[in-house]
Amino acid sequence: MVLTAIKKYPNQISMAFKRFPLASAMAFFTFIALVTNTEFARIGNNHFTRLFLWLAIYPIAALLIALATSLVQESRKSRSFRPQAIAGGAWFLLSIALVACSSIDDDPFYFGCTITLIYLIATFAVFFGPFWKQPNENGFWNFLQKNIKSAIIAVLVSAILLGALEGFVFGFAELFDSDPGEMIYFYIFYFCASVIAPILYFSGVPSIDECLEEKPALNKFASSTIRFLFIPVLAIGILLFYAYIVKFIVLWDMPDEGTASAFVSGFIIYLLALITAMHPMRLSTEQTTEKKLLKIFPAACIPLIILMSIDVMHIFIQESLSPEIIWVITINIYFYIIIAILLKEKIQRKSRYIAIVFCALFFVTTISPLNAHNIADLAGMKIIENEPAQQSSTVTKPAEKDTTEKFDSFEADISHSEIISFIIPEGAKEVAILDHYFDKSEFEYRGDTITFRITLSEDDENDADSSAAKPSTADSAKTKSNVYSFFTTKQELNDSLESIATDHAAIGIKELHTSQWSEKGRSLRIKGLLFTE
């Protein structure tokens, strides 16, 4: 039987080229792009940076778009080349525009998010596009199941071929005492990963008609695994979360910030994957236990998402509003939407709407004008603007007036977002991630000089937040801590300072924002790395 399957491969591969000619061509172009970028990186050629960036982002997305377009045309029984030309041409022009408008001096975050969103939409289009007009998810489920099988086989065969080819080259080099160089092994890997694996995958992609005609069904192994393994794991997990919720209500005790959110996020993803796999059980005319659980599980997870909301509120109260917190809030909202979609019986194509909402929220929080970074910056500016008024309202002694009078204000905003590594100072033994809003007691302006200090507990020298590493007053007697004092000048800040050093410590600056708008009104935030001896 295995031999019969192997004999079919040449014909299947030939059919893959006929079904997906442009996608197959893009697989070879991806290999060429990988080799080109590697070769120019080896010789240190930076004159064509934008070309290399384009070669890095264009081919794989073009492959996915071509594959999705071919599948949509297959579902509509269309053989016109126009849709491929329009879709491929649109991405070609858009990719050039994105690279041309980008700058290596700009923050690459928005560029990366834009490319990620395009890749997500192209991937979703492969699975949802051919079945967009179908009234249910039967075809989509069959297509997804067969594609997963095809992808696994393609990866395994490609891995075996990769090992065989590299073993052959290594053996040849040893037998003939030659040195082909290490790069040949990279290029063999590129070829297997970018050409062999996609072509083998294409050869196993099922036809759309086959997926529509076949009734969704699980084999005995899959049914038994879901019934006796995955469902019990989900049920036990929900019970454990409920036990923790009772503990939280009784003791009002939350774990470390973000722990509950992380566990709930993983659990909801597991729930979503399991419910998708159980789609054939939903179609059963019998009122089986599994069919009842499909209705119970989403509702049972609502308290878990509420627990995540409480955890998010706890983080928000303890820390200032940051892009990371906004993203966690968005994920929490997304989970509420997922549960609502799963519980709504009238929604027949649930997976489609879950994917659409995900892409929409991703766009809003990362790329749109209302993205998380802009909201966090706006909130920070509001705090700074309101601070002088708050200070003046608390002043009761005449001698302490003047906080809102005209003042020779100062502001510096440094961003080195393009830096991906820092030079480790000589003698440095420890490093901590620094992201800290300084209290007014921690820094001051003295003429043209700004001085500040960082207190770091020895027990937490590798903590991700310097503020978290600061011992409280009550614990200061028990916890030994080190205080590092730094100073710099306004001129250095205006010159986009990259690092600040002092005795036994140094700061590699990723971002720095400081301002002084009155004699007592001032702010300072630093993001980067703190190196200590």
Query: Which residue type is seen at 152?
Result: I
Q: What is the pLDDT of residue 363?
A: 96
Q: What is the dihedral of CA 66, 71, 76, 81, to 10 degrees?
A: 30
Residue 104, phi then psi, degrees to nearest 5: -65, -15
Residue 374 region by backbone torsions, left for phi larger than 0, else alpha for psi between -120 and 50, else beta: alpha
Element spanning 434, H or E: strand 430-437
Residue 410, phi then psi, degrees to nearest 5: -145, 140
Q: Are 114 and 179 in contact (CB under 8 A)?
A: no
Q: In a structure prediction context, what are the per-residue pLDDT tens digits for the chain, which is 533 residues long?
A: 445 655 666 788 888 899 999 999 999 999 999 999 998 877 766 667 888 889 999 999 999 999 999 999 999 998 899 999 999 999 999 999 999 887 544 567 888 899 999 999 999 999 999 999 999 999 999 999 999 999 999 999 999 999 999 999 999 888 888 888 889 999 999 999 999 999 999 999 999 999 999 999 988 898 899 999 999 999 999 999 999 888 888 877 766 667 888 999 999 999 999 999 999 998 888 888 888 888 899 999 999 999 999 888 888 877 777 888 899 999 999 999 999 999 998 888 999 999 999 999 999 999 998 888 888 878 766 655 555 555 555 444 444 444 444 457 788 888 887 776 677 887 788 888 888 888 878 888 888 889 998 887 655 444 444 433 443 333 434 445 788 889 898 888 887 788 898 888 899 998 898 888 777 778 888 988 888 88
Q: What is the pLDDT of residue 278?
A: 92
Q: What is the pLDDT of residue 513?
A: 87
Measure the CA–CA gap between 433 and 528, rounded to whole angstroms.
Answer: 6
Measure the CA–CA gap between 60 and 27, rounded to whole angstroms.
Answer: 8
pTM higher than 0.85: no
Element spanning 444, H or E: strand 443-446
Measure the CA–CA gap between 211 and 130, rounded to whole angstroms.
Answer: 10
Q: pLDDT by residue (tens digit) across 415-469?
A: 887 776 677 887 788 888 888 888 878 888 888 889 998 887 655 444 444 433 4
SS3 per residue for 497-516: CCEEEECCEEEEEEEEEEEE
Which neighbouring-strand residues pair with 224?
A: none
Q: What is the pLDDT of residue 103?
A: 54
